[in-house]
Amino acid sequence: MTRSAAEIYLDNNATTAIDPAVARVIHEAMLAGPANASSQHAIGQTARSVLDDAVERIGRCLGSDLNRPGGPRLIVTSGGTESNNLALTGIAAPDAPIVVSAVEHPSVLAVALAMNRADGAGPRREIRLIPVLPSGVVDVDRLADLIGGEGTGRAKAGLVSVMSANNETGVIQPTAEVAKICRWKNVPLHIDATQSIGKVPFAVHASGASAVSFSPHKFHGPTGVGGLWLDAGVKLSPMLRGGEQQLLTRPGTEPVALVVGMAEALQIATANLVDFAAHAQSLRDRLETRLAEACPNSVIHGHGRQRLPTTTCVSLIGCDRQTMLMALDVAGIACSSGSACSSGSSPPSHVLTAMRCPENQIDSALRFGVSKFSTQEEINRAAELISRCNNRLRQM
């Protein structure tokens, strides 16, 4: 079988195609001239004005006033991975335990486990994992005990980190309940909202979080830039040294054009959330319905739970996920077998493992993600090709 000339892209949880309108504003910003917002001359101050305006727009889209002195602020990073690393390493006291859910993105779990092994500088940290229910939802009833503190017989945690929605299953987490417990325990909460912001309503200040990570390449913005929102009064120790930018918390010359692109992408996404959600969910449901009809061996993970409108995680039992992934790639469908940050080596999904899924479901799981550019015709064709590859591989 030869590769289809028109590939159907269904790996939008990993990254999305940049919106042409966003590409244009980035292009214009790059052509406007040198843009070092830290320079004191007039050209530098012009860049500073452009950067500040973009950050203000981002704040409005996120439901946060970033202009108020002493109020919330936005740290510009290189993306969601850096934002998550910075939050985990920079918010809690150096010796305080950290609580994370068992289904977090690798950019949270990997840094937590590294701190537990004391791979980097600083003392070894205790890491406590919040288990998840078979539905993929974090077990909120366990959180207060895991945070610890007075009367519990264990040291009080210095940070809780729970994602807003899972990148593999799309299951939306009960962050409002998590935030309520964190407020009661007086422990800062970090939310990795990389999969939610730009796709579903999410107001950072109303979330109850102390810190929120996001990245615009998940909603048709540029790669190479991201954000870490910090609530008023939250102190952050830097990972990087050697510059005074961003109040010493994240040194380095700010990528003005990319921040402008991030603001544009977020403004477009938040202005069209209702229509986008309806479009995405109709395509997701169509794909799942057709797969259920054509592939009796299919299992949709998180089905019946509140999920992102974009995401389908399906196990085609009896088909090896890597073999299926390659067969679909040849057929012209781009999807993934898990997190894009780990799919190169394709280890078994830690998310489905934490959900206690049977081994045959874990070994056959694929993730499909739609975007605003996905079409009904593409979904119809994708369902046909997936079922065809599934039947052929099962016969083999």
State how far the Cα of 310 lies from the Cα of 288, in Å rounded to an integer.
Answer: 12
What are the Cα distances from residue 130, in Å, to 106, 141, 185?
A: 15, 10, 16
Phi–psi pair at 239, nearest 5 degrees: -90, -30
State how far the Cα of 379 lies from the Cα of 381, in Å rounded to an integer.
Answer: 5
State how far the Cα of 190 lies from the Cα of 179, in Å rounded to an integer.
Answer: 9
Beta bridge partners of 334: 9
**Cβ atoms within 10 A of the Cβ of 6, count?**
8
Helix H or strand E encompassing 282: helix 273-294
Phi–psi pair at 62, nearest 5 degrees: -90, 0
Query: Any idea which residues carry the catalytic annotation?
Result: 341
DSSP annotation of 337 reads S
> Which two three-digit tokens encode residue 293?
């009809």
> Which two three-digit tokens encode residue 230?
């910090």
3-class secondary structure for 234-280? Answer: CCCCCCCCCCCHHHHCCCCCCCHHHHHHHHHHHHHHHHCHHHHHHHH
